[in-house]
Structure 1
Amino acid sequence: MTDTNSDIRVHDADLRNLRHVDVTLPRGQLVAVTGVSGSGKSSLAFGTIHGEAQRRYLESVAPFARRLIAGAVDPRVGRIDGLPPTVALEQARTSGGARSTVGTFSTVSNSVRLLFSRAGTYPTQVRERVGRLDSDRFSPNTASGMCPTCQGTGTVHVPTEESMVPDPSLSIDDGAIAAWPGAWLGKNFHDILVTLGYRTDVPWSELSREDRNWILFTPDKPVVTVHPVRGAHQIQRTYDGTWRSVSTYLQETLASSSSDATRRRVLSFMDHSVCPTCGGRRLTTDALSVTYLGMAIDELNSVPLENLVELFTGVTSPSEAERLLLEQVIPTVRAAVELGLGHLSLDRPASTLSGGELQRLRLASQLHSGLFGVVYVLDEPSAGLHPTERVAVSELMVRFLEAGNSVILVEHDMSLVAGADWVVDIGPGAGENGGEVLWSGPVAGLSGQDTPTGRALAAPVPPLKGSGSFAVRQASSSLPVRTTERTLDVDTGLGLGQFTAVTGISGSGKSTLVSSALPEVLADAGIRTVHITQQPIGRTTRSSLATYTGLFDHVRKLFAATDDAQERGWTVSRFSYNVTQGRCPTCSGEGTIEVELVFLPGSYTICPDCHGARYNAETLEVTWRGLTIADVLGLTVTEALDVFADEPAVYTALQALEAVGLSYLRLGQGAPELSGGEAQRIKLATELQRSRRVRRSTPTVHLLDEPTTGLHPADVDLLVKELNRLVDAGDSVVVVEHDLRVVAQADRVLDLGPGAGVDGGRIIAAGTPATIAAGGTATGAALASVAVGV
């Protein structure tokens, strides 16, 4: 029996779709929060419980500092009794800056740099000349550590005549200087050249070498009075223009611009080569001359984490400073290895990692934090993990509990839920159909209950294809796939007209095969490909279900075609809440306005003028079939299917949303309100509607990278049904998957391994799910342990 004095008691929680929930959670135990995607799990665990802990912490912070703390939300709860401090580890939405790596993201790099500074082996001349280097000297991201030639990037970017003027047969008037920017600035450079007397109407190649060099490379920045040529109805006005050579413009823009798109454009007009000073190693010569364990810091950073643990634990007779630093590093690195990240290295760019990998890095870094008496709120730590690797997640949570903490786990993986001490099941459905507590108690009591989670606990995997009467589709043809990209060494065939699952432990090469190698193979074969990655959809307040799927464009056309709109001279833009003429001026088309609370985080309330409609009153005077444009945005997908039954362009998009289980969402639902699972399925539906709308003579291959991320088993079944529909229609589907519910229903499985990184990349088993389950691979063992009748 749980001690009520140590319980967390939530009273009257009504954040988002929670229906004034009362629920009790035991402290000092592992509590799983379950439910279908969008049911309210995250609203309870993160928005309410962690949100209230944040609010209380903010009250203890000096008032002038509160506004500096971003991300706080109004938990909208009556009260929570027995709430300790919380630490939230949500799925990472960002990996940090462009220079962020595994080492910097996990904070291990800080200790590694100190190891080189305090315990490194210094060459005599460096020790005599500068003494001991501080830790910043071992970072390519600091002014003192970065190579001065490449600014710590390892690459030099040099504008050349060929890169800036790719077609010398053109004149400047005709666009010979492709590196110039568009719009006003490019015309400004052109007009300054004309004012200076340079020919712009002859082919570039006919200009003298001296003139070409001056235009492209001069460091001079003369200021001249420009008399621009304008149209007859434009203002004729002179101005003083400052000349910058093309290379100067490129280099200054690269150094100053914070826009990724601008930087990519500028870099496209430069030649790139390994830095001649550091040889691509990014650091100063002094820093690279210091070694630890016989390696320079860039060499040590490239060692896989699983090997790094062995190196660090093998250190004998360390100094006191070295011992303290190793005690900081080793637990984090060892935990990362246990969580299936042993194939990574400290220098691996964080931008190349999945959200699940980033979260597991954060989990690993928490182990040596020394916190006691806190509640860890975890968001699907199983994401991106092979079933056999999830044992390490369970062990990690036990270590949190043994350290005197509590764990609240938002999870869809039934193997982890089954190992919890307590489960809170939210539902019964999603969105407006969810938000109720269906069960709060021991896990055993939920198994077999008539709820989506109860049914999933009772039958985690359906019967395997290839066993008994569960026949597989035969491939219409086989496409040869041969690749040695990165760590891959694959020579196999891809069955067209089949549903193929690519499996294997983390880092075995699955995503490289499906997201990198296969698109090239398919393109060479002339096969149309649809590639759906894990990149999230837009989450701005302006993005909604209707705008992201594209159906809103068709809806606005219907309104613009009404007689009323035609008489007023309104076009489709009038019916956009992003355009000044049509939107509500009070909330600028947001539907809500922010209420400033001075020393507390802001709160949002419904706009008092448009009452959430987003549009001004005049725009809402135009109706289509008795509905205003705001009324349409207020429809659920189910309601909209009836309204737009005879409008194919809209109906097709709605069908795709319904097929992946999103019929409860409203068309105008803002992207920030969507759960991770909902956002993923909207992206899938957007692609699936195109396949419904466009019938092709050549079948399509659909490539998906872990499409079940964030999905409850009940939602997974809906997704698999839709993917099977594509294959039944003649297309092919290839998915990277760890979810055994998907693997069990595939026609063919390609199992990669046997290990990760350089120890992976080979197909160690191929066949039906039943065949894989009878084999000796990690995937086969996982299937065999849970499959019915195996």
Structure 2
Amino acid sequence: MFIFTACAMINYEENIEVRGARVHNLKNIDVTIPREKLVVITGLSGSGKSSLAFDTIYAEGQRRYIETFSAYARQFLGGLERPDVDKIDGLSPVIAIEQKTTSKSPRSTVGTITEVYDFLRLLFARAGDAYSFNTGEMMVSYSDEQIKRLIVEAYDGKKISVLAPIVKSRKGHYRELFEQIGKQGFVKVRVDGAIVDITKGMKVDRYKTHDIEIVIDRLKVGQGQDFDKRLSETINTAMYSGDNVLMVLEEGKKTPRYFSRDLMCPSSGISYPTPEPNTFSFNSPKGMCPSCNGLGHVYEVNENKIFPNKKVSIRAGGIAPLGAYKKSWAFKQLETIGQRYGFSMDSTIAQISDEGLNVILNGGKESFSVNSKTLGVKREYRIDYEGISNFIKSQFQEANSTSIKRWAKEYMDKVTCPNCHGARLRKESLYFKIDGKNIAELAHMDIAELANFFAHFEQKMEGNQKKIAEEIVKEIRTRIQFLLDVGLDYLSLNRSSKSLSGGEAQRIRLATQIGSQLVGVLYILDEPSIGLHQRDNERLIQSLASLRDIGNSVIVVEHDRDMIEAADHVIDIGPRAGKHGGEIISQGPPGELVSHQTLTADYISGAKGIRVPENRRKGTGKKLVLSGCTGNNLKNVTVEFPLGKMIGVTGVSGSGKSTLINETLYPIMNAHYFNGVKTPMPYKKIKGLEHIDKVIDINQSPIGRTPRSNPATYTGVFSEIRSLFSKTTEATIRGYKPGRFSFNVQGGRCETCQGGGLKVIEMNFLPDVFVECETCNGKRFNRETLEIRYKGKSIADVLEMTMDEAVGFFENIPKIHRKLKTIVDVGLGYISLGQQSTTLSGGEAQRVKLATELSKRDTGNTFYILDEPTTGLHFEDIRVLMEVLDKLVDKGNTVLVIEHNMDVIKMVDHIIDIGYEGGRGGGMVVAKGTPEQVSKDTKSYTAKFLRNELEQAKENLAKAF
């Protein structure tokens, strides 16, 4: 037995052995993956890389992990199906670092994900200095013994009154309070600075603000055991009555001195509760700003959205939330308000007085009388109107219906919270400081700036603060360094996780894993280089190497040339995509890869390449000019976008590319052409919108968030296919309509899975798992529907076809053929019509959207915006994509791509390079012009890599001829 175990260890301690993998398109492959190495799996999009890495190796690792749970725990998790593989040996505990795992909660930030903010909260709670928000003085707190000693030292031999404050600057008559104080045995109180006897009856003006303190004791400060005992009891009673605060007033003086067990301002007497980590959490009631509930922003009604066109009458719909006139209570109230303020339903909004508009917006209660001309008598009217603005607010805050909230939101603007100014925390929390900075100010710094702050703070720490804070600061600096190592120095801790790209989110998780210092783990990453400038690639590769060097195995699904060349072992899957892929066509060290005759090897060696255009397009001569952009880190930028060209927006990560294009330019254009409601980042003006007729943003957001969504439904081709099936002879005889062939409608679908083809198993603290429906075996439809055939294929058979197969199958149906052909043209011939949208990568989803737009009739005057369209694309896929984009531009359209990939950048006609650095050091136009012009710039980071790329392209061209 011992010998057998030893042999097993010898066989498998150096490799992960996968035998007979058949998941998705994998063709019963065997592969040996060396352990404790950096392994890159590459190949065309759809060739089977993710099927091997995630759906086989990771899925089996997850299944084995769950099998270690007790039977009791497993009953809540359900069963995980074993992936279709004969066996996997040498498998370590597996951690997948994907791009789709970031929380979309508005309360999730970079700081909370990385836990750096948690350590900051602990630091401020234990070592922060508190300051008064009234006077700016440092807050103090005392123990009872300290208070006693200070009183004796300050007032020795003097007469004092010890007071317990119970009312601070509040209105009221306080009769019940004085009665309650009297019942407790106290005789005197100090009201607004004067000590009075409550036994003689007390009256105060209820409409004025008052300060009231109980006189706990009046005594002469001295020495001795009896005095010591009396003072201790007095302090204890005063603290109890005054909620841990007491005041000492010397006889003949008007200004008391404050003492508190809690943090307290020595001048004004305001106190803060003892700080704890939750005091600085915007997700806790103890720390969050009460106005915005810790979100940093609030929604306010926008009057211009309620009255979008003031030249329109009320009857014609001038009040947008109410619409056109109808007999209802709201319009009846408006008619009454009109009687009072002199307008009718036929008055335009502009004709209504400011007083009338104020009542319409904010409501009011009023009785009034009007002389009736017909009856000759006065008629009494009553206005009791909530106001449209108040109604919208109440619906947004209190309605249970999502649709009603969405309706209310249409008339509101998202604005920075006026109380906390976006800091998310209550006022008291923001007056705790470390080295002069509060926690919100630190969270607002970018990671590089924060690293410098703590480097200096660590040197300045001394005394008790050093003892308390030393370990916390060490932990913070370590975690910050991991973020720097993966190229995220431009992010700030308060950056919302919703705004992170897939690559950024993945690199944050990578930094967290590096910080965990686990050993013997198998890490699987999905294209971590996404969104990363070439300048920062080396840091990312070093981070992965450090994971490997401490004893972990790292598998990366990647297309990046630098990553492939830095790997210890490369596995190339192909030869093509979809059913034409799924085979291991090459594996070994990257040095050996170039000797193999594969597409990847050809591009790495230079045998194949994406050629630089001989001539750059001249464009239409017209341009779009956007000036005065100051959003986020943009520094009053003015940018010209030449039309009729392919424009590349480049720059290091965090330099301001997305702020300029996605958050400023696109919202402006979308609002102009389609009445979009998203507010653009601040800018001064834009010229040239008249030269374009529409804008299309093709981003990487999913085309659907459930397995019901797929490329066929998204592109609209499935409606045509359903219509075609309903016209077959058998369907006509049975009376089947197009709805019969929809998996979203009762009648034709499988009711067990309700047309999903999959059933969801909730995994509680693990991600939900989808398993095939046992009734329809994943076909989505019931038996009767599947009996209808077109050219021998059922509707389920058609959904399982790849785009390449479907193009030939429907070649005689022009409407269907044209849409499918555009999907094939963008390089997605390998995906199936019914492939679940949840399984598509960001790049695939983007190309499905691109194909959808291409299938529409274009005017040759459209502005297309693509954000990193090369995500998930092999060199060959990029070549195909660029051919499609070139055709768009050749028709006269303008295509703008935000990109880091040099194969794309060298192909564009005009480059706008943003920099110089990320974060604070960015936000400027560094260089602009053709790739050849930009490559000569000496300050641009992009120029350096572009220069090398253009020189390499020349060499490859010379070799070819």
- 2:789 is aligned with 1:789: no
- 2:365 is aligned with 1:357: no
What CA distance in whole angstroms lies between the structure 2 residues aligned with 1:166 and 1:464?
Answer: 51
Aligned residue runs from structure 1 range 326-365, under 5 A: 326-365=473-512
**Other structure's SS at 2:783 match:** coil
Superimposed CA distance per residue, residues 430-479 of structure 1 (whole angstroms, 9 cap, x where no aligned partner): 2222222222321212124222222222129846636xxx2222222140
Change (3 A) 1:94 1:483: farther
Equivalent residue for 2:239?
none
**Other structure's SS at 2:516 match:** coil
- 2:282 is aligned with 1:140: yes
What CA distance in whole angstroms lies between the structure 1 residues aligned with 2:871 and 2:557?
Answer: 13
**Other structure's SS at 1:554 match:** helix
- 2:621 is aligned with 1:477: yes
Q: In the TM superposition, what is the alpha-carbon distance from 1:590 to its structure 2 partner?
A: 2.6
**Other structure's SS at 2:618 match:** coil
Stretch of structure 1 that moved more, 264-273 or 131-140: 264-273
Aligned residue runs from structure 1 range 597-636, under 5 A: 604-605=771-772, 607-608=774-775, 610-625=776-791, 627-636=793-802
**Other structure's SS at 2:338 match:** helix
What CA distance in whole angstroms lies between the structure 1 residues aligned with 2:413 and 2:788?
Answer: 56
What CA distance in whole angstroms lies between the structure 1 residues aligned with 2:783 and 2:11?
Answer: 57
Superimposed CA distance per residue, residues 236-291 of structure 1 (whole angstroms, 9 cap, x where no aligned partner): xxxxxxx9997786556544668776544323445776545434433222111111
Equivalent residue for 2:195?
none
- 2:722 is aligned with 1:556: yes
Equivalent residue for 2:128?
120
What CA distance in whole angstroms lies between the structure 2 residues aligned with 1:288 and 1:599?
Answer: 34
- 2:704 is aligned with 1:538: yes
Stretch of structure 1 that moved more, 510-519 or 22-31: 510-519
- 2:443 is aligned with 1:301: yes
Q: In the TM superposition, what is the alpha-carbon distance from 1:130 to its structure 2 partner?
A: 4.2
- 2:234 is aligned with 1:87: no
Percent identity (aligned):
38
Stretch of structure 1 that moved more, 281-290 or 149-158: 149-158
Equivalent residue for 2:44?
36
Q: In the TM superposition, what is the alpha-carbon distance from 1:300 to its structure 2 partner?
A: 1.6
- 2:447 is aligned with 1:281: no
Stretch of structure 1 that moved more, 643-652 or 620-629: 620-629
Aligned residue runs from structure 1 range 164-563, under 5 A: 199=332, 202=335, 205-206=338-339, 250=392, 253-255=395-397, 262-270=404-412, 275-315=417-457, 316=459, 318=461, 319-459=466-606, 462=609, 465=612, 470-485=614-629, 486=631, 487-519=634-666, 520=668, 521=686, 523=689, 525-562=691-728
- Whether contact under 8 Å (2:698, 2:846) holds in the other structure is no
Q: In the TM superposition, what is the alpha-carbon distance from 1:164 to its structure 2 partner?
A: 7.0
- 2:62 is aligned with 1:54: yes
Stretch of structure 1 that moved more, 726-735 or 780-789: 780-789
Change (3 A) 1:534 1:594: closer
Change (3 A) 1:526 1:117: same
Stretch of structure 1 that moved more, 90-99 or 548-557: 90-99
Change (3 A) 1:435 1:145: same
Superimposed CA distance per residue, residues 720-773 of structure 1 (whole angstroms, 9 cap, x where no aligned partner): 111111122222221111111111222232222221234223332233333433
Equivalent residue for 2:880?
718
2:831 to 659, 662, 665: 665
Change (3 A) 1:151 1:688: same
Change (3 A) 1:602 1:705: closer
Aligned residue runs from structure 1 range 687-726, under 5 A: 687-690=853-856, 694-696=857-859, 698-726=860-888
Equivalent residue for 1:226?
none
Equivalent residue for 1:20?
28
- The residue identity in structure 1 corresponding to 2:771 is Y
Q: In the TM superposition, what is the alpha-carbon distance from 1:302 to its structure 2 partner?
A: 1.1
- Whether contact under 8 Å (2:610, 2:903) holds in the other structure is no
Q: In the TM superposition, what is the alpha-carbon distance from 1:53 to its structure 2 partner?
A: 1.9
- The residue identity in structure 1 corresponding to 2:948 is S
Stretch of structure 1 that moved more, 514-523 or 445-454: 514-523
Q: In the TM superposition, what is the alpha-carbon distance from 1:623 to its structure 2 partner?
A: 4.3
What CA distance in whole angstroms lies between the structure 1 residues aligned with 2:764 and 2:285?
Answer: 38
What CA distance in whole angstroms lies between the structure 1 residues aligned with 2:316 and 2:866?
Answer: 43
1:573 to 715, 739, 756: 739
Change (3 A) 1:305 1:384: same
- The residue identity in structure 2 corresponding to 1:205 is G
- 2:932 is aligned with 1:770: yes
- The residue identity in structure 1 corresponding to 2:621 is S
- Whether contact under 8 Å (1:38, 1:678) holds in the other structure is no
Stretch of structure 1 that moved more, 261-270 or 152-161: 152-161
Q: In the TM superposition, what is the alpha-carbon distance from 1:711 to its structure 2 partner?
A: 1.0
Equivalent residue for 1:761?
923
- Whether contact under 8 Å (1:38, 1:674) holds in the other structure is no
- Whether contact under 8 Å (2:843, 2:869) holds in the other structure is no
What CA distance in whole angstroms lies between the structure 2 residues aligned with 1:95 and 1:524?
Answer: 40
Equivalent residue for 2:153?
none
- The residue identity in structure 2 corresponding to 1:483 is S
- Whether contact under 8 Å (2:647, 2:897) holds in the other structure is yes
**Other structure's SS at 1:15 match:** coil
- Whether contact under 8 Å (1:8, 1:81) holds in the other structure is yes
1:652 to 811, 818, 824: 818
Stretch of structure 1 that moved more, 734-743 or 339-348: 339-348
Equivalent residue for 1:229?
none
- The residue identity in structure 1 corresponding to 2:946 is L
Superimposed CA distance per residue, residues 338-380 of structure 1 (whole angstroms, 9 cap, x where no aligned partner): 4332222111222222111111222222222121121221111
Stretch of structure 1 that moved more, 627-636 or 373-382: 627-636
- Whether contact under 8 Å (1:168, 1:205) holds in the other structure is no
Question: TM-score scaled to structure 1, two decimals?
Answer: 0.85
Larger Rg: 2
What CA distance in whole angstroms lies between the structure 1 residues aligned with 2:930 and 2:543?
Answer: 33
- Whether contact under 8 Å (2:753, 2:773) holds in the other structure is no
What CA distance in whole angstroms lies between the structure 2 residues aligned with 1:163 and 1:745?
Answer: 43
Aligned length: 748
What CA distance in whole angstroms lies between the structure 2 residues aligned with 1:360 and 1:426?
Answer: 25
- The residue identity in structure 2 corresponding to 1:406 is S
Superimposed CA distance per residue, residues 399-439 of structure 1 (whole angstroms, 9 cap, x where no aligned partner): 21222222111111011111100111112222222222222
Stretch of structure 1 that moved more, 161-170 or 497-506: 161-170
Change (3 A) 1:77 1:206: farther
**Other structure's SS at 1:23 match:** strand
